[in-house]
Structure 1
Amino acid sequence: MLFESSRVRLRKMTKEDTELYNKWRNDLEVMHSTNPSLDVYPMEATKKFVDHVILGSPTAKSYIMVEKGKEIPIGIVSLINIDYKNRNAECIIDIGEKEYWGKGYGSEGLKLLLDYVFYEMNLHRVCLKVFSFNDRAIRLYTKIGFQKEGNSRQSLFRNGEWHDIIHMGILQNEYLRNK
């Protein structure tokens, strides 16, 4: 598996990334579009989360996205709820360094993850959830080939309004056909 594109390299997340992850996880601007709870997490809570959920789960894999030119960690892509029997998983992406937003790094990182998922892991389906107000992410996922599969209507309260959570998915043959 080649874990790099022209500008992005993926590397496995390690315990050494906990402090950086805690910074991203506590940046409300970063989490506004991806985290339903918008809580502030003390370092100890993040350490436990990284140890048990990110690194300690047999049904999750997380990779730090590194900008190759400067070797700067810029975000994280993860697979969660990996179901090997039914060949399904859910993916999550967060660009933690805001100066890299809107410049195609998320697209490159997500495509690297999907290449791994469909070529190496041979999964059949990947799904994700996106907040209905996150137009930039919805455009990215649609461009890559994800299709809307449903809504959780008005399940997120943000900025004084109710928003849907949109469920999207992509199948292995759809992704490989569009490559």
Structure 2
Amino acid sequence: MPNKNNVKIRLIPLEKQHIDDAYVSWFDNSDGHLDYFTGSGRTFTREVILNDFEKGKESGGWFYYLIQDCDGQSIGNIKIGPIDHRNKTSDLVCLIGNRNFLGKGIAVKAISIANEIAFKKYDISRLHSGIYASNIPSIKAYTKAGWFVEATLKGYYWKDGKPEDRICIACLNPKYFPEANGINNHEKLGSDE
């Protein structure tokens, strides 16, 4: 089992061959791990995963990265997109799929690296996402990775028969928002980009 403080990671562009049985198994929600992953309750079969990957690749609207440890073990993924090229904005989603790596601080490292990729490679000015208010681990991971809570949308989600707030988070590219220097101050943690 990896030690929390010693796990070094990298992000590599996801390729079709990475979408193997182990990767697909990350999207099995029998343990409830994905309860917060999609507000629509969408299920992810191999076909859906491959179709999303291919559509993103063809359109240039979103990009997937595989999170690996230094031994090449796959841990999860990052999706940058959909990118609004006109407004230079994008969503950024992190999934720690390999349950053996949950609670190890991997998401913070992966999000920090992905911030840099989005800002430098795709020239994104502003990253944003929304999180269920009860998903405290995700809120903590993003804010530790240089994001900030921007707003709360009251009753945005319908979960377990009642409304739940959406926490809107964002991260600003210092190239475009120099006054935000410090919001995005994070150590470069390693990437193949």
TM-score, structure 1 as length reference: 0.83
Instruction: Identify the residue that residue 130 of structure 2 maps to in structure 1.
Output: 129
Q: CA deviation at 1:35?
A: 1.6
Q: Does 1:26 align with 2:33?
A: no
Instruction: Identify the residue that residue 91 of structure 2 maps to in structure 1.
Output: 90
Give 1:57's aligned amino acid: S
User: Aligned pairs, how many?
Assistant: 173
Where in structure 2 are the equivalents of 1:52-131 lying within 5 Å? 52=55, 54-69=56-71, 71-131=72-132
Instruction: Identify the residue that residue 51 of structure 1 maps to in structure 2.
Output: 54
Q: Does 1:178 align with 2:181?
A: no
SS in 2 for 1:86: coil
Q: Residues of 1 paired with 2:181 and 2:80: CA distance?
A: 16
Could you list the runs of 5+ residues in structure 1 that have no partner in the other structure?
1-5
Q: 1:58 to 1:136 in 2, by over 3 A?
A: same
Q: 1:18 to 1:39 in 2, by over 3 A?
A: same
Kindly, what percent of the aligned residue pairs are identical? 19
Q: Residues of 1 paired with 2:92 and 2:44: CA distance?
A: 22
Q: Residues of 2 paired with 1:44 and 1:117: CA distance?
A: 27
TM-score, structure 2 as length reference: 0.78
Does 1 or 2 have the higher relative contact order (CA < 8 Å, sep 6+)?
2
SS in 1 for 2:41: coil
Q: Residues of 2 paired with 1:175 and 1:83: CA distance?
A: 23
**1:31, 1:38 within 8 Å by CA — same for their partners in 2?**
no
Instruction: Identify the residue that residue 3 of structure 1 maps to in structure 2.
Output: none
SS in 2 for 1:59: coil
Instruction: Identify the residue that residue 11 of structure 2 maps to in structure 1.
Output: 10
Q: CA deviation at 1:119?
A: 3.1
Q: CA deviation at 1:175?
A: 5.9
Q: Does 1:38 align with 2:41?
A: yes
| 119-128 or 92-101: bigger deviation | 119-128
**1:155, 1:164 within 8 Å by CA — same for their partners in 2?**
yes
Q: CA deviation at 1:95?
A: 0.4
Residue by residue over 1:14-48, the C-alpha shift from the partner in whole angstroms, topping out at 9 and shown as x without a partner, is: 11233444322223523112222334443333332
Q: 1:46 to 1:77 in 2, by over 3 A?
A: closer
Q: Residues of 2 paired with 1:82 and 1:109: CA distance?
A: 19
Q: 1:144 to 1:46 in 2, by over 3 A?
A: closer
Q: CA deviation at 1:125?
A: 0.9
SS in 2 for 1:55: helix
Indicate the RMSD between aligned Cα atoms, in angstroms: 2.3
**2:108, 2:144 within 8 Å by CA — same for their partners in 1?**
no
| 121-130 or 92-101: bigger deviation | 121-130
Residue by residue over 1:71-123, the C-alpha shift from the partner in whole angstroms, topping out at 9 and shown as x without a partner, is: 21110011112123322111000000112111111111111111112234332
**2:80, 2:90 within 8 Å by CA — same for their partners in 1?**
yes
Q: CA deviation at 1:61?
A: 0.8
Q: 1:12 to 1:175 in 2, by over 3 A?
A: farther
